[in-house]
Amino acid sequence: MKLTIAVKYIISIFIAVFPAVIVSAQEEIGPIMWNPFVNNGSDLLTTPRKASKKTTISLPLPFFEDFTGNSPVPDSAKWVDFMVYINNTMAVSPISRGVATFDDLDYRGLPYDSFSNSVVKYADSLTSMPINLSADSVGDSVYLSFFYQPQGNGFYPTVGDSLMLFFKNKFGDFIKVWSVQGSALTPFQQVMIPLTDSLDFHEGFQFRFINIASLAWADAVWNLDYIKLDRNRTMADTVIADIAFTSDPPFLLNDYTSMPYSQFKVNPTAEIVTMLTDSIRNDSSAGHNVNYNYRINDGGFTLGGSAGFNTTFLAGHQTAEVTEPLIVFGYPNHPANTPVIYEARYYLQNSAFTGPTENDTVVRKQVFDNYLAYDDGTAEKSYYLHLATSAPGKIAIEYHLNKPDTIRGMSIYFGRQVPFANRKPFIINLYAAIGGINGAPADNLIYSTDQLLPAYADEVNHFWTYIFDVPQVLPAGTFYVGTSQTANDGSDSLYYGFDVNRVGSNHAFYNVEGIWKPVQKSGAIMMRPIIGKQASGSYTNNILSPSSSWQVMPNPATDMIKFQFAGDQLSDYNLSDCQGHIVMQGTVASGRSVNIAHLAPGVYFVNLSINGIESQPQKIVKM
């Protein structure tokens, strides 16, 4: 799951090649095709770090990694490249909280091939720092163990895909020692690999995981967890004596994931959860009592928490949910229209284990801000509709207010797609009611925007925000807001981020044949109405800084056009006609010419994507 331009998926190819696609007559789930979280401005991500043949740093044994942490990139103290995505959302029942996800998206979150969907190639890699094995030998019984899972919350890797493991010998060559073909979802499986080649025992030993990916399916994922390299092990040494959280803690709100604090304070009892649930795993072979508790803080103020440690018994290799009542001492006041963050910190305690402790504490930040959300901010898939030829395609999501307030716009998380969606206009509709839902006889439309175009790169929270020309005052109660595309606007609608880890579809409805129907897919469509305080919209001039501006020349043109933009990187371009059909696409460097002599005379729109960020289209005339 990383930031990308996308590939257009033809439904017949989906069904023939990827039978795991979830298909229905009008709704579909597809790959998200981008992941903004891996390219979030970190200096680590400006260029990929490759494994070096010469280094002065070697780690000692044991080597252990369970990917617990809050960074989307691998720990630079243990890993030398940053291709994979470290997350807590893509795995199903992980061994512990945090996995490394392999897909077809590079270290910038862009696809390895933006335009071809018919090739298979090496994709993500994860390479360890050098590890000093010079004092060890085959007789020391050194083993590498790890857990892997195909598919997770993405789509499954096909048989042509694979996950592979390589060892670096003393001559600097990476030799493949293990691989597994793609398959549908399975529980995490453990693999034990002995080091049996004397050439592996040197001061610069490294191991590297690589996935082979079908580029047509960038969300066909592998998840990796619990990697351990140590001496004096055997094939039976499969136990890691650890008790750990396996998931993120719940949000403190029982329906929304975020809402304005002023709305929350009107009726906190109705909005807050009554029980807290989390998942804990005992990875040892013996049963143990597990102690756990939590604290909730609002800045320096202790908002709530359990009086002491609660205890539950977990059998060996058992994962279990633990619940405890939410105890809140009170809700402090805060100035109007200011964000408020409650920090809920959860703890495990077990003196029987001396293993990793990083996964014994997890934190959930409950944000109260100027929007309503059902999603957790990360998209594992995309949601889209098949548009009819005779009626608009609409989506509407139900929200509620506890007191009258002002809606000022909406933020949308788009999944990327090819042909580029920049020529797929839509409007935002605000309804007091929608026909046939909750007893409403017909739609009660309050407000509609002018036509809008999708965009993808918001530096604040990865949603694109559209501000209404006229803010709308709403009464307390239920309202609906969503999007509409015109009929016959292509084979499918825009792709919207879909958070499969949340239940939000019970509030979502779609309409492609003039009738509103409940969304049947399980997850939250990532649209967030902006409520309360004044907000700023996301504009195209926020995407490209002046140093990244570009131009195409000459205009008008007869046979050749030339692109000029800052930097020496290759950038993706496409030309579309006035109907939005892509007529040319490819990659180009600044100063290079592109031949358009074969195009019919007329008006075209040129779009350039620099580092995965799409620009405002420019119009050219072909003579």
Q: What is the pLDDT of residue 541?
A: 31
Q: What is the pLDDT of residue 44?
A: 35
For 317, residues 6+ apart whose C-beta sits below 8 A from its C-beta are 281, 282, 283, 284, 285
Q: For 232-263, what is each residue's pLDDT tens digit?
A: 999 999 887 788 888 888 899 999 999 999 99
Average of per-residue pLDDT values in the chain: 81
Tell me which residue has tokens 């402090």.
Answer: 332
Q: Which of 328, 331, 326 is nearest to 261 (CA)?
A: 331
Q: Is the pTM of this model over 0.85?
A: no
Q: How far apart are CA 118 and CA 213, in angstroms?
A: 11
Q: For 64-117, what is each residue's pLDDT tens digit?
A: 998 987 788 899 999 998 889 898 888 998 888 889 999 877 665 556 655 554
β-pair type (162-168, 143-150): unpaired
In the predicted structure, residue 14 carries a pLDDT above the cut 50: no
Q: How far apart are CA 115 and CA 10, in angstroms?
A: 14
Q: Which of 410, 398, 374, 375 is nearest to 480 (CA)?
A: 398
CB-CB contact of 419 with 576 (8 Å)? yes
162-168: strand order across its sheet: 120-127, 207-214, 162-168, 174-181
Domains in the chain, ordered, with CATH?
Answer: 35-238 (2.60.120.260), 244-367 (2.60.40.10), 381-541 (2.60.120), 546-622 (2.60.40.3080)
Q: How far apart are CA 386 and CA 25, in angstroms?
A: 8
**Using CB atoms within 10 A of its CB, is residue 610 exposed (0-12), middle (13-18) or buried (19+)?**
buried
Q: Can you tell me the mean pLDDT for 599-609?
A: 82
In the predicted structure, residue 441 carries a pLDDT above the cut 50: yes
How would residue 18 be classed by pLDDT, with cut points 50, 70 and 90?
very low
Q: For 386-419, what is each residue's pLDDT tens digit?
A: 888 778 899 999 999 999 999 999 999 987 664 4
